[in-house]
């Protein structure tokens, strides 16, 4: 009888523990969604914040610095949604007013977690760092150019690796570039001068709007290397791709960049008529499809053969 009671007791402990643990694991995600109840986000997701000024003993309401306002919806969908603010930021931020010297403390960097970790080996973060150091970004801004300048750590989603929608990938990736290259203040911070006008500078590019929505900036502005999905060696303007055939050929550069992702390689299998219309490259015309290419060669040779045979008979029967 005692044994049965003891067993029941352990059962209850187990059930309560599981319930508590599952609740705890949801705590952060839920807290991003319910920003008003999150200790940090109740201020950092709003345009304004209030606090009690203990010197004047008055309730004060102020505008939040727009760069410190976080998109909680995007955060709760981001790859770091399972983390809490103080996993990367100092735990001293839990106190308000924040200590002014906290700003000077170095933040945790991405490579503190991602570098040298077997779990992230396939992403080759160390190789990315090596390539990044050759890039125009590093040359201009040195170590101050952190990963988060492009990859917003609060909201980042691995879209290129997971989405099968090219347009979604292109839009997500290009927004990373445009967040600075289309923003005077942010561009000026890094480059030290106002940014050039993107539309004018790309005026040489035919069908500019179509290119901007269908391929990523990095397709032309990044060196392609086999071992990485994106080399991160962002090239300066004068070294960027400017020749149409580098993409519009059967040996298209896009195969080694945008269509390197497994999730996109099978895109041509979708939709009707895919057996004939395998969109294997950006070659112009019917040569995009190997079946049509072969068919056109056969028809051409048959026509030519017919003419030659007919001519021979004409000569013989003259």
Partner 1 sequence: MSATHKIYFYPVWLRVWHAINALGILILIITGISMQSDMDSNVIGFNMTVNLHNIAGVVIFVSYFAFFIGNLVTNNGRFYLIKMKGFFKRPIKQGMFYVWGMFHGEKYPFPLSEKRKFNPLQKYFYVLVMYLAVPVVIVTGLALLFPEIIIDKVYGISGVFMTAILHSAMGFFISIFLIIHLYIASVGKSPLENYKSMITGWHHV
As given in the structure block, the two tokens for residue 310 are 């007919």
3-state secondary structure of 177: helix
Task: Write down the least CB distance from residue 28 to partner 1, Å.
Answer: 39
Q: 204-242 as b/e, with b when 16 or more CB fall inside 10 Å?
A: eeeeeeebbeebbbbbbbbbbeeebbbbbbbbeeeebbe
315 is an interface residue for partner 1 by CB under 8 A? no
Residue 106 engages partner 1 in binding (rule: CB under 8 A): no
Q: Does 196 bind partner 1 (CB under 8 A)?
A: no
Among 12, 51, 96, 313, binds partner 1 (CB under 8 A): 313
Residue 193 near residue 180 (C-beta atoms within 8 A): no
Should residue 288 be labelled a site residue for partner 1 when binding is judged by CB under 8 A? yes
Cβ count within 10 A of residue 85: 21
DSSP β-bridge partners for residue 6: none
Nearer to partner 1, 49 or 282 (CB): 282
Q: From 221, 179, 171, select the one nearest 201 (Cα to Cα).
A: 221
User: Considering the rule CB under 8 A, would residue 265 count as an interface residue with partner 1?
Assistant: no
CB of 286 to partner 1, least distance (A): 4
CB nearer to partner 1: give 66 or 206. 206
Closest separation between CB of residue 217 and partner 1, Å? 19
One symbol per residue from 204 to 243: x for binding partner 1 (CB under 8 A), - otherwise; what is it?
A: --xx-xx--------------------------------x
The token pair at 6 is: 């003891």
Position 275 contacts partner 1 (CB under 8 A) = no
Regarding 263 and contact with partner 1 (CB under 8 A), the answer is no
Q: Virtual CA dihedral for 180, 186, 191, 192, nearest 10 degrees?
A: 160
- Measured from the CB atom, the residue of 76 and 246 that comes closer to partner 1 is 246
- Of the candidates 79, 280, 278, the one whose C-alpha atom is nearest the C-alpha of residue 162 is 79
Under rule CB under 8 A, which residues in 125-144 are in contact with partner 1?
A: none
Question: Please, which residues bridge with residue 61 across strands?
Answer: 50
Binding stretches for partner 1 (CB under 8 A): 206-207, 209-210, 243-245, 248-251, 270-274, 277, 279, 283-289, 292, 296, 299-300, 303-304, 307, 310-311, 313-314, 317
């Amino acid at each position: 009888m005692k044994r049965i009671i003891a067993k029941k007791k352990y059962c209850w402990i187990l059930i309560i523990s599981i319930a508590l643990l599952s609740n705890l694991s949801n705590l952060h995600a839920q807290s991003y969604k319910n920003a008003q109840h999150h200790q940090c986000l109740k201020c950092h997701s709003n345009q304004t914040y209030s606090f009690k000024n203990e010197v004047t003993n008055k309730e004060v309401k102020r505008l939040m610095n727009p760069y410190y306002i976080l998109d909680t919806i995007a955060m709760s969908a981001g790859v770091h949604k399972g983390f809490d603010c103080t996993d990367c930021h100092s735990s001293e931020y839990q106190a308000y007013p924040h200590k002014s010297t906290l700003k000077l403390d170095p933040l945790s960097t991405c490579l503190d977690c991602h570098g040298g970790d077997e779990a992230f080996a396939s992403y080759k973060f160390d190789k990315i760092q090596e390539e990044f150091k050759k890039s125009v970004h590093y040359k201009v801004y040195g170590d101050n150019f952190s990963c988060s300048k492009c990859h917003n750590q609060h909201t980042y989603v691995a879209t290129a690796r997971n989405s099968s929608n090219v347009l979604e990938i292109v839009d997500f990736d290009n927004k990373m570039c445009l967040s600075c290259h289309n923003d005077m203040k942010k561009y000026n911070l890094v480059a030290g001068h106002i940014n050039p006008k993107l539309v004018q500078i790309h005026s040489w590019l035919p069908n500019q709007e179509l290119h901007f929505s269908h391929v990523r900036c990095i397709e032309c502005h990044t060196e392609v290397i086999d071992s990485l999905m994106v080399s991160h060696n962002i090239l300066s303007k004068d070294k960027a791709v400017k020749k149409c055939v580098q993409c519009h050929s059967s040996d298209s550069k896009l195969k080694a960049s945008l269509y390197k992702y497994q999730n996109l390689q099978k895109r041509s299998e979708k939709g009707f008529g895919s057996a004939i219309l395998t969109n294997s490259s950006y070659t112009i015309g019917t040569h995009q499809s190997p079946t049509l290419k072969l068919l056109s060669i056969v028809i051409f040779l048959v026509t030519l053969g017919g003419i030659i045979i007919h001519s021979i008979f004409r000569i013989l029967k003259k």
